[in-house]
Structure 1
């Protein structure tokens, strides 16, 4: 199939990030393959995003302001899906704080043509880590993570996990039976396409047909931490998902609109537990013990950041939130609901 024959829409869900959104849209304007429609789903309580869009005319853009009932990442995504063109083949989702390289959308759409069985394709964040070819890496550095001929710094928390026998035992983008695996950020910039079962939702694209039976779970209210893992794990039960590392973009973290650090820490534990049980509804005793052991180890590491980090207050309250979230699991653990 020719690229030009595929109709694709771009959905950007945004919340109080007018400046970041404008940077993204400017990078969309330079794309070598342009969306048939761009849907901006704005949950901001103010009018700054609307004013910015009025001052900057973007081809094929349509703006939707949602009320409180439809506010929140997963609700805004479901809102956007309902407003796709009837002849739309592919829907691309982008976070409002990313910047695309000029061939990003062409390579994403091209992947669906190259791999007809692909239900979803994710892009690749190029500024997440510094990678080196294995032959150029420092072999004496024990903190290196090596995969498919490339190396990057793994991070001290993974070293600590390894000492306790809690290191991930599956490839990046795949969930171990005790969860806490390597994210797709641990896939190298090899320009290859890798099959995964978890994708970053803010750089993901899907065949529109899957939404006849699937929707984003509204369990993940507001900021929606790990909603992408939930959706992709459910989708992976129905077909194949891929990351194309040649389709690159940059992620410039914008803290606007994020929850307070205590609430964030609590979400890390509760939402992390939720998506683990989406994949493994009846985990073994060993896997259960390893999940809790890893969660507590990571919480203790975050508490230790009170001594080592410049942001001591943030480290303490996030760690306290994680601990609160862990205790809450024994009172009212979240149970995955049916979104197919």
Structure 2
């Protein structure tokens, strides 16, 4: 099967070099590599040109676009449809283990009905769910679920294969014939938080998505282009509300409000209980309230 490996990137030059080095170490090379870049300078383009001339690098195509992760992913889908059978999306700040692509392609070749697959992600620092978080609809012991509150639970370092409802953006591959017509939601601009859960729920409605534990990568979580935590809290509330508005999965408006209120309460408790009254928890609590006001205005309009 012909497959294309897509890397969407913006201003992460050192991360891109490390990522491309790990591509060169793959036991099974992709048929082609597509870099969709929205950087502010030419450094990434120059890096890609250097790697494209390597004799051991598969065909590497570079495209420069306007900023926006969902836009960049959609441009990649447009170029991949009709030319390839499988598209792999990875982030620019990941480092692939040698058999990553081989394990994912084996999964697709062994199961013709498989719609999508993702790998085991190291570096996420996933903690065991607490009873408090589970009661608040913010966590679950079941990997790969999107809860009724809109919170999405990753499979990440789950040490066995399991069917999931979404795939994390740093490690998601799809059979293009199964996702024909689907696009990433370009209303989610910039950092586009939650675009992977949104797309995953749409794709899982067409068939199975699978966490393939032997396909492994390390997510370095680059600090470049990352928002501060309070802004992410507010953006995540809008994301979860959009899932409910679009009737995706089991997500519902009342449960989104419930989960958001519980999350805000958690931040307030952390602020009160922290010895130094850590300001970030107060800011997250305020962001939770602002996020609730945002969705109230959306509902009213």
Report TM bin, short chain.
Answer: 0.7 to 0.9
Query: Is 1:63 aligned with 2:62?
Result: yes
Between the aligned partners of 1:282 and 1:32, the Cα distance in structure 2 is: 39
**What runs of 5+ residues in structure 1 fail to find an aligned partner?**
1-5, 131-152, 336-340
Between the aligned partners of 1:325 and 1:215, the Cα distance in structure 2 is: 26
Residue among 44, 49, 64 paired with 1:49: 44
Residue among 152, 159, 162 paired with 2:131: 159
SS of the residue corresponding to residue 83 of structure 1 reads helix
Query: Is 1:183 aligned with 2:154?
Result: yes
Residue 116 of structure 1, CA deviation = 1.2
Number of aligned residue pairs: give it. 296
Residue among 298, 321, 333 paired with 2:263: 298
Query: Is 1:259 aligned with 2:209?
Result: no
| Change beyond 3 A, Cα 1:282–1:46 | same
Between the aligned partners of 1:114 and 1:259, the Cα distance in structure 2 is: 40
Between the aligned partners of 1:323 and 1:309, the Cα distance in structure 2 is: 23
Residue 314 of structure 1, CA deviation = 4.0
TM-superposition CA deviations, 1:244-281 (whole Å, max 9, x none) = 01111111111211234443221011112212444458
Between the aligned partners of 1:327 and 1:82, the Cα distance in structure 2 is: 36
TM-score by length of 1: 0.78
Query: Is 1:103 aligned with 2:103?
Result: no
Between the aligned partners of 1:245 and 1:256, the Cα distance in structure 2 is: 28
Between the aligned partners of 2:147 and 2:248, the Cα distance in structure 1 is: 10
Residue among 197, 201, 204 paired with 2:172: 204
Higher mean displacement: 119-128 or 88-97 = 119-128
SS of the residue corresponding to residue 64 of structure 1 reads strand
Residue 85 of structure 1, CA deviation = 7.1
Q: What is the root-mean-square deviation in Å for CA atoms of aligned residues?
A: 2.8
The answer on whether the counterparts of 2:6 and 2:88 sit within 8 Å (CA) in structure 1 is: yes
Paired position in structure 1 for 2:25: 30
Residue among 116, 122, 125 paired with 1:120: 116
TM-superposition CA deviations, 1:153-180 (whole Å, max 9, x none) = 415xx33234x56475673212333433
The answer on whether the counterparts of 1:161 and 1:294 sit within 8 Å (CA) in structure 2 is: no
Between the aligned partners of 1:311 and 1:84, the Cα distance in structure 2 is: 50
Between the aligned partners of 1:25 and 1:281, the Cα distance in structure 2 is: 35
TM-score by length of 2: 0.87
Residue 46 of structure 1, CA deviation = 1.8
